[in-house]
Amino acid sequence: MKYALVTGASSGFGMYTALELAYQGYHVLATMRDVNNRTQIEGVAREQATLERLTVLQLDVTKQEDLDRVATYLEQHSISVQVLVNNAGYCQSGFFQDLTEEEWQAQFQTNFFGAVRTTKALLPFIPRDGSGKIIAISSVSGFFGFPGMSAYVSSKFALEGWGESLRLELMNEGIWVSLVQPGAYRTKIWERGLEKVAGLQTGNAFQQYLVKEAMKSRDNGADPREVARLVAHIAQKSKPRFRYPIGKGAKTLAIGKRWLAWSWIEGYVDRYLKGKGTK
């Protein structure tokens, strides 16, 4: 039996990824901070006849004691984890001058250190025979610094840099590290991500426009099951690539960031936002 472990599996990318991997034949350890939120994932698994391949475990990636408990579970049941999906995270939006140090710390504790901590604890259970995969859910915000999202962007930039080093360290040991970089999708990440700015009534025209654009991205996001299918595809490849941008405009943005001069990108964004945001 092949095993996969997915963090943050109560909703969004995590839930759909866990369900897709179960559908593809993996026994999935679906972890979440509060196991009382298991109703939706178990309901869908029951409908797709994969409930017997789903085990829900409690795991808050910011708590080492939770990770130790999961590691003990794996050891006691002699489980090798072929696929580890570091998905747990949230989006802390807000303009830099409005964010507190506590909000920055919390963002990094989940999005970055949560993935580092989880991988460190579970690495001994990942096979080193070429079948082992570590897949982290990054974002287009991991390579492009969107205004009004500096904390989230920074945590994803950190995830990308760590992922590069980890990929090069582990590939010769038979473990493949990959990053998935979604654009805007319809997930609950927007609920917490936009709560700080959603009720913003003050601020200049530039800030107001950014808030409206964020709301538009939330409302027009794509189906998150696209990302889940991509993760399952990566999990089954013998030698997956490192980065996988996905979603409307994600690949174009990645190519543009790589090949265009920053002065051109900066000028375009400045003209676009000034032209739209001051009307």
> Of 3, 26, 152, 185, which residue is the catalytic one?
152
| Of residues 134, 114, 111, 113, the one with CA closest to residue 124 | 134
Distance CA 12, CA 8 (A): 8
Identify the sign of the CA torsion 112, 142, 13, 174: negative
Distance CA 150, CA 124 (A): 34
Identify the sign of the CA torsion 226, 56, 110, 178: negative
Q: What are phi and psi of 40, to 5 degrees?
A: -65, -50
Q: Fill in the amino acid letter for 112.
A: F
| Of residues 40, 35, 5, the one with CA closest to residue 22 | 5
- Active-site residue flag, 152: yes
| Of residues 7, 183, 174, the one with CA closest to residue 87 | 7
Distance CA 137, CA 150 (A): 18
Check if the beta carbon of residue 193 is closer than 8 Å to that of residue 93: yes
Distance CA 112, CA 156 (A): 7
Catalytic residues, by residue number, are: 152
